[in-house]
Homo-oligomer: A and B are copies of this chain.
Amino acid sequence: MHLVTGGAGFIGSHLVDALVSRGINVRVFDNFSSGREEFLSHHQGTGNVEVVRGDLLNIDEVQSAMSGIEMVHHLAANPDIRLGTEVTDTDLRQGTLATYNVLESMRKVGVNKISFSSSSAIYGEAEEMPTPETYGPVMPISLYGASKLGSEALITAWAGTFGANAWIHRFANIVGPRGTHGVIFDFIHKLKRDPSRLEVLGNGMQEKSYMSAEDCVRAMVHLVDFCVDNVSLYNLGTGDTCSVRRIAEIVVEESGLEGVSIEYTGGDRGWAGDVPKTSLEVGRLLSTGFKPDMASEDAIRHTARALITEIGL
């Protein structure tokens, strides 16, 4: 049985689907702060998925959840990057400290495989683009990015000191059905409130790498099969980028609304700690034989359609 922390959340629930479809039974550990029961409702009664409602900051709860587990997929984290500008200990606690509790519980119970959802946010404003895994120095500019790099460091230290096996996945911006945060989600909610105009934070020139959640979890599972190193570390993305301006246009197109005025607040970034341009080098991932089904723009259109249906306009 595999444990998925944050398994009721956006990417976590997609990973549960991918694992179950490969015949793996899953225990989900989630505090349901952004996870939702309905993201897992299709597994109810199948006997394949067990749900534990718990808090990663309570190490006793985490340790209990490790019993009978062969491998941990640690995805739980605060998903709201912008929050770090206001509350400074959320990412530290929900990120770095939660990861410590996961690793320490694994060590105590004797679980030694961990797959971890890191982020391109660890690169900060990289001088090299597309940015490869070998880029340094990594200097995150958001508290979210700091918590992901702090977690990566704990994981490699556990691998080096206690012999754990680790897969670190540095995600591009992951988008898809069940998304609970992020630019597409925000745009749809804004249009729902006011269908005549769409306010875009920044000048719209921000440009990032996107990947569909379906491709993302497929890549994670693929890499766990493919890699046998003590620690394997890969960027997960599609190799291209899309601008916020283009995302706004796609969301408006998919909304079917007419005469929407797209307005920009100006400035080169959405908020302090937002990285205006990211582009992930994904040659290392592609060299393993993995091919994403959707490019960035396709993933965004697919997501806009799904979230418009989920949220309603």
| A interface residue numbers (CB < 8 A to B) | 84-85, 88-89, 92, 96-97, 100, 104, 107, 122, 124-125, 133-143, 145-147, 149-150, 152-154, 156-157, 159-162, 231, 233, 272-273
Contact = CB atoms under 8 A, between A and B. Distances in A.
Given A107-B88, A136-B136, A154 B146 contact: yes
Contacts of A97: 92
A142 B159 CA distance: 9
A220 to B, nearest CB: 18
A233 B85 CA distance: 24
Contacts of A107: 88
Pick from A92, A143, A154, A157 the residue with the most CB of B within 10 Å.
A157
Contacts of A96: 92, 96, 150
A97 B147 CA distance: 12
Contact of A160 (B104, B141, B153): B141
B161 A154 contact: no
A242 B156 CA distance: 26
A268 to B, nearest CB: 13
B161 A84 contact: yes
A146 B136 contact: no
A153 B149 contact: yes
Contacts of A231: 139
A142 B156 CA distance: 8
Number of copies: 2
Given A146-B157, A149-B150, A272-B161, A137 B88 contact: no
A100 to B, nearest CB: 6
Given A150-B149, A150-B154, A153-B122, A85 B161 contact: yes
A157 B136 contact: no
A133 B141 contact: no
Given A84-B161, A136-B137, 20 more contacts: A88-B104, A92-B97, A92-B100, A124-B160, A134-B136, A135-B136, A136-B136, A136-B138, A138-B153, A139-B152, A139-B231, A141-B157, A142-B157, A143-B161, A150-B150, A153-B153, A157-B273, A160-B273, A161-B272, A161-B273
Given A88-B107, A89-B100, A160 B272 contact: yes
Contacts of A154: 92, 143, 146, 150
A142 B161 contact: yes
A73 to B, nearest CB: 20
8 contacts: A89-B100, A92-B97, A124-B156, A133-B137, A143-B154, A146-B156, A149-B150, A150-B150
Contacts of A153: 122, 138-140, 145-147, 149-150, 153
Nearest to A107: B88
- Residue of A107, A137, A149, A273 ringed by the most chain B CB atoms within 10 A: A137
Contacts of A142: 157, 160-161
A100 B88 CA distance: 9
